[in-house]
């Protein structure tokens, strides 16, 4: 079963899923240990890790490299909000609902 389907099934069962924003493999591991249903990696979280005010100041490669590292440390589904700083938690709701 795909990880996207896992989230949709959980949402259908409970009406709500709990997703934690993560920006590193360590935060992903901690979110999984805390019992969250999935992970959300956003441009904001990643730009904060690099100490930058906006995601548009780093490359897409850096974001994808971090996503790969997070996916390698956690078995939770990941919602990757890859944009240039204009996303928010509403993107997670739309991604799971579709």
Structure tokens at 55: 């995601």
Task: For residue 65, indicate whether it is catalytic.
Answer: no
Distances (CA, A) of 53 to 4, 18, 46, 49, 68: 30, 27, 10, 10, 23
Among residues 54, 65, 81, 83, the one annotated as catalytic is: 54
Taking each helix axis from N to C end, the angle separating 25-33 and 60-73, rounded to the nearest 10 degrees, works out to: 40
* C-alpha closest to that of 82 among 46, 42, 28: 42
Contact by Cβ (8 Å): 63, 82: yes
**Which residues are designated catalytic?**
54
């Amino acid at each position: 079963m795909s990880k996207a389907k896992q989230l949709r099934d959980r949402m259908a069962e409970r009406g709500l899923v709990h997703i934690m924003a993560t920006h590193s493999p360590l935060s992903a591991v901690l979110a999984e240990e805390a019992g969250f249903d999935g992970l959300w990696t956003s441009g904001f979280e990643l730009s904060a890790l690099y100490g930058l005010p906006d995601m548009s100041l780093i490359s897409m490669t850096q974001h994808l490299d971090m996503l790969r590292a997070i996916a390698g440390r956690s078995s939770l589904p990941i919602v990757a909000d890859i944009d240039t700083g204009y996303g928010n938690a509403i993107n997670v709701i739309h991604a799971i609902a579709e």
